[in-house]
Structure 1
Amino acid sequence: MNFASVRVITADIDRLLPFYEQVTGLPATRYTPDFAELRTPTATLAIGSTRTLQFEGGQGARAASNQSAILEFRVADVDAEYQKLAESLRDFIVQGPTTMPWGNRSFLFRDPDGNLVNFFAPVTPEAIQRFDG
């Protein structure tokens, strides 16, 4: 089994999609007005409008109500990403670059729907070993 993607449901895909394109630097593929994907080499961030829920029985997901999941992106240099994005994210930053006890350098912010996003890089030998084997 391979973990393939995370889908974020939003009431405003036209606001959320450009946000993720800006912060990741990745182009989105918009398949329909209600569904798009940003692909990385290891996983995909899918973004669907609330209208996509009708295809799945209309139950089980509510836009902008995440209280427990964090979308995490491994980056080469957390501090460089922070410097690049700090001005545009100033109202969304939760935590500036910090080295966590488990060996990752981390920068946390919220997307326009309130979802928590973590840009991180392993920096200690143990953390690097965990990710790179």
Structure 2
Amino acid sequence: MTVSISTVHVLVDDPDAALAFYRDTLGLTVRNEVAHDGFRWIVLYAPSQPEIQIVLSQPHAGRSQQDGDTIAALLAKGELRPLHFRTDDLDATFEKIAATPGAEVLQEPVSQPWGARDAAVRDPAGNFLRIEQA
């Protein structure tokens, strides 16, 4: 039996700002966009891993008002679990992210004691991302 990751969901408060960040800054490709009941889901993938989908969705999509409010508050505080990305050129990726409106630099590229060289940022929605040198 083989098990693998197929989809990762990323909650965002502004789908347009998230799309600009993940598509234009990180270079992900849009596979699909779905609008339903006033919300949008945007499905992206990395060209190097087309089998793994990243779905951008809003906190209130498909949830009760109370649950959506709770998740939106956690998103606003930056308290959701981090996403980890890998790049073949950390410095160039970091510079592009640092120049992106709405992105926040938390840690410039540095060699970590555990052997990785990485940087930490927040996307325009406040999601915590670590970007590691491949």
TM-score range normalised by the length of the shorter chain:
0.7 to 0.9
Q: What is the percentage of aligned positions where both structures have the same residue?
A: 26
**Does the C-alpha gap of structure 1 residues 115 and 96 become closer, same or farther in structure 2, counting only changes over 3 Å?**
same
Aligned to 1:26: 28
Which structure shows the higher helix fraction? Answer: 1
Q: Displacement, 1:99? A: 0.9
Deviation string for 1:15-36 (max 9, x for gaps)?
2121211221122233213111
Determine whether 1:82 maps to 2:90. no
Where in structure 1 do 4 or more consecutive aligned residues deviate above 6 Å?
none
Deviation string for 1:20-65 (max 9, x for gaps)?
11221122233213111111206322111235324xx674871325
Determine helix, strand or coil for the equivalent of 2:113: coil
**Does the C-alpha gap of structure 1 residues 9 and 85 become closer, same or farther in structure 2, counting only changes over 3 Å?**
closer
Determine helix, strand or coil for the equivalent of 1:19: helix
CA distance in 1, matches of 2:102, 2:27: 18
Determine whether 1:72 maps to 2:72. no
Check whether the contact 2:6–2:52 (CA below 8 A) recurs between aligned residues.
yes
Choose 99-108 or 11-20, whichever is displaced more.
11-20
Choose 22-31 or 12-21, whichever is displaced more.
22-31
Aligned to 1:130: none
Which structure shows the higher strand fraction? Answer: 2
Aligned to 2:7: 5
Unaligned runs of 5+ in 1: 123-133
Aligned to 2:18: 16
Determine helix, strand or coil for the equivalent of 1:50: coil
Question: RMSD of the TM alignment (CA)?
Answer: 2.5
CA distance in 1, matches of 2:7, 2:53: 4
Q: 2:124 aligns with which of 112, 120, 124?
A: 112
Unaligned runs of 5+ in 2: none
